[in-house]
Amino acid sequence: MLVSAKEMLTKAKAGHYAVGQFNINNLEWTKAVLTTAEELKSPVILGVSEGAGKYMCGFKTVADMVKAMIESLGITVPVALHLDHGTYEGCLKCIEAGFSSIMFDGSHYPIEENVAKTTELIKITREKGMSIEAEVGSIGGEEDGVIGMGECADPDECKMIADLGVTMLAAGIGNIHGKYPENWPGLSFETLDAIRQKTGAMPLVLHGGTGIPADMIKKAISLGVSKINVNTECQISFAEATRKYIEEGKDLVGKGFDPRKLLAPGTEAIKATVKEKMELFGSVGKA
């Protein structure tokens, strides 16, 4: 069922667990995430960056593929199709293409401009029954060529954006996209707690879910994080399993070069990573 992320995140916040957002890149990725969510009876959010959308031939191709797959695989758990780190124009394109959720990343704008653009998009998403995520304080690391410095968000600015009526709020608390460096100081729970106190019932989003230790994830959830984004970890799992298949020469045996065989270990590896995260986030059985 393709739905907005609102209800699943409201339930997650009340139930003290988090819903995973897993970024998708192609058919195998989408199938792996959807089937795992169904097997575990977990709600799920499929994240699509603007780069991944372009790679998959545009947002309409993605939306149509996801809707068709939900139907043909008999997926009954709630699924949100969500634009990840969208530009204003990208958000409009996803609304048009049939996504059920968007993220407008106005974190690099002055706060007044972030407020103005977020307000306009809230109006449109409300009319369409879609959910919208906003961001305050850029997330560290590199994603699709955008490099953030990993700053901690200002809790007052978070309140300002939350009060506009977004569905969920991403706030920088020292998290970074991609692998964490050896000398990473960890998440700033002090910042997270201050943001939680200012934003009340607002479901908070933790980006950069790859490589955050389990105890930090659990603490973040206890402090109001209801959505956790994972991208790089599935990419690494896929690459490692594919490398192993080829290094073991399995593509050279019989019809081992058949793409359906060649891509199968990577797809299974994505499923295993998604399962591990859903168990850690506590969303299993919550659909």
Please answer whether residues 12 and 19 qualify as being in contact, where contact means their C-beta atoms are separated by less than 8 angstroms.
Answer: yes
Three-class SS of residue 99?
A: coil
Taking the least distance from each CB to ligand 13P, the nearer of 28 and 233 is 233
Q: Shortest gap between Cβ of 259 and ligand 13P (angstroms)? A: 25
Within 8 A by CB and 6+ apart from 158, the residues are 136, 137, 169, 171, 195, 198, 199
Give min distance, CB of 224 to ligand 13P, in A.
17
137 touches ligand 13P by CB under 6 A: no
**Tokens for 243?**
């490398």
84 is catalytic: yes
Determine contact, residues 98/64, Cβ cutoff 8 Å. Answer: yes
Residue 232 in contact with ligand 13P, rule: CB under 6 A? yes
Shortest Å distance, C-beta 256 to ligand 13P:
30
**Span interacting with ligand 13P, options 57-65, 195-203, 224-232, 272-280, rule CB under 6 A:** 224-232
Q: In whole angstroms, how far apart are CA 27 and each of 34, 67, 69, 77, 139?
A: 11, 12, 9, 19, 28
Residue 41, classified by CB atoms within 10 Å of its CB into exposed (0-12), middle (13-18) or buried (19+), is middle
In whole angstroms, how close is the CB of 103 to ligand 13P at the nearest point? 8
Options 131, 229, 267, 283; binder of ligand 13P; rule CB under 6 A: 229
* Minimum distance from residue 109 beta carbon to ligand 13P (Å): 18
| Type of residue at 148 | G
When asked if residue 31 is in the footprint of ligand 13P (CB under 6 A), the reply is no
Among 6, 13, 93, 177, contact with ligand 13P (rule: CB under 6 A)? 177
Q: Which of the residues 64 through 103 are near ligand 13P (CB under 6 A)? A: 84-85
Note whether 233 binds ligand 13P by CB under 6 A: yes
51, 165, 178, 256: which one contacts ligand 13P (CB under 6 A)? 178
Collapsing DSSP to helix, strand or coil, 236 comes out as helix
Q: Supply the DSSP string of 244-275, one letter for each residue.
A: HHHHTTGGGSTTTTSHHHHTHHHHHHHHHHHH
Residue of 64, 84, 144, 215 marked catalytic = 84
User: What are 171's two structure tokens?
Assistant: 């706030």
Residue list 193-222, contact with ligand 13P (CB under 6 A): 207-210
Buried b (16+ CB within 10 A) or exposed e, 117-128: bbeebbeebeee
Whichever of 154 and 233 has its CB closer to ligand 13P, that residue is 233
Distance from C-alpha of 243 to C-alpha of 224, rounded to nearest angstrom: 38
Residue closer to ligand 13P, measured from CB, 137 or 208: 208
138 binds ligand 13P (CB under 6 A): no
Q: Catalytic residues, which ones? A: 84
Q: Contact positions toward ligand 13P, by CB under 6 A?
A: 23, 47, 84-85, 177-178, 207-210, 229-233
